[in-house]
Amino acid sequence: MPSYVIHYICGNKLIENYKVTPKEKSLFLVGNLIPDSSKIFGNVDITSIKNDFRKIHRKEIQNEKLTTHFRRKEDRNNVVMLPYPEQFKNKYGITDLVTLGYYYHLYTDKYFFNDIFNKSFEFLNNNLEITSNNNEAIYVRIKKNNKVVSKDEFFSTSYLYHDYTVMNKLLLEYFGIVFNENELREYINGIENNIDEVDFKNIESVIRDTLLYIEESKTSDSNLEVFDENIIINFINELNNNFSKENKQLIKKVGLKNVRDNN
């Protein structure tokens, strides 16, 4: 998944294309971030816990994401498990800005995994053949330089998670986005908790993580090991253009009007 920071930037860049009140913007952004909330982290101050906390609870976290991200159990053996936004839409409909934000989050993840991942790297088996099976994948080929590393090394702070930190810094600076935690908290108590997969009280876990990752990114270098900088910068505009075109009726249904619309 893209980081919480990247989801926040994507959501801000989408919603700025529409005429919204501060409350409407907040409701959309809360909906956009709530899929990454965690019951495990809900009451945990992650700034005071050991770095291996996530590794210890990795299985629990991934089980949560099966539900919150509408993944399919039959995809469990895939290295990358896609979300299925359509399942969320079919279950809840898109009736307000909160559900639109949630749906947009899943759409963003699916786009990122399908488009950016495929442009950037591929998983290989022991014979250096392309595979999507987690049990078969041993290596990862990074496409921009054809470098091959082990899968374990790739999913580490040397490669993929290093790049997420760099991307946070790169995109925050490029788009001039400032994370506004108060904007997210202001209307949270008025949101009806009618999405079974999440508890809106756990938005605090996302806020805390986002603040921590932004702080970490300030001291990061500027070199991307896996992704191409131009692809990363361009993907947000591409994502939002595609989302707006493909979901024009849904966006209209929740009452959003484009800033370029004079009516």
List per-residue pLDDT tens for the chain, 263 residues long. 678 999 999 999 999 999 999 999 999 999 999 999 877 655 555 555 555 545 545 566 667 888 899 999 899 899 999 999 999 999 999 999 999 999 999 999 999 999 999 999 999 999 999 999 999 999 999 999 999 999 999 999 999 999 999 999 999 999 999 999 999 998 888 888 889 999 888 888 889 889 989 998 988 888 999 999 999 999 999 999 999 999 999 999 999 999 887 65
- Taking residue 166's Cβ as centre, other Cβ atoms within 10 Å add up to 21
Q: Is residue 263 in some structural domain?
A: no
Closest CA relative to residue 104, chosen from 209, 261, 260, 246: 246
Q: How far is residue 247 CA from its own chain's centroid? A: 19
Q: Is residue 145 in some structural domain?
A: no
* pLDDT of the residue at 180: 93
Q: d(Cα 229, Cα 162) in Å, to the nearest integer?
A: 14
- Taking residue 76's Cβ as centre, other Cβ atoms within 10 Å add up to 11
Q: d(Cα 49, Cα 40) in Å, to the nearest integer?
A: 13
Q: Is residue 227 in some structural domain?
A: yes
* pLDDT of the residue at 49: 52
Q: Note down the domain range covering 233.
A: 4-120+154-253
Q: Is residue 139 in some structural domain?
A: no
Q: Is residue 40 in some structural domain?
A: yes
Q: Is residue 114 in some structural domain?
A: yes
Q: Is residue 38 in some structural domain?
A: yes
Q: Is residue 137 in some structural domain?
A: no
Judge whether 4 and 206 are in contact, CB under 8 Å.
yes
Judge whether 38 and 243 are in contact, CB under 8 Å.
no
* pLDDT of the residue at 192: 84
Q: How far is residue 137 CA from its own chain's centroid? A: 24
Domain tally for the chain?
1
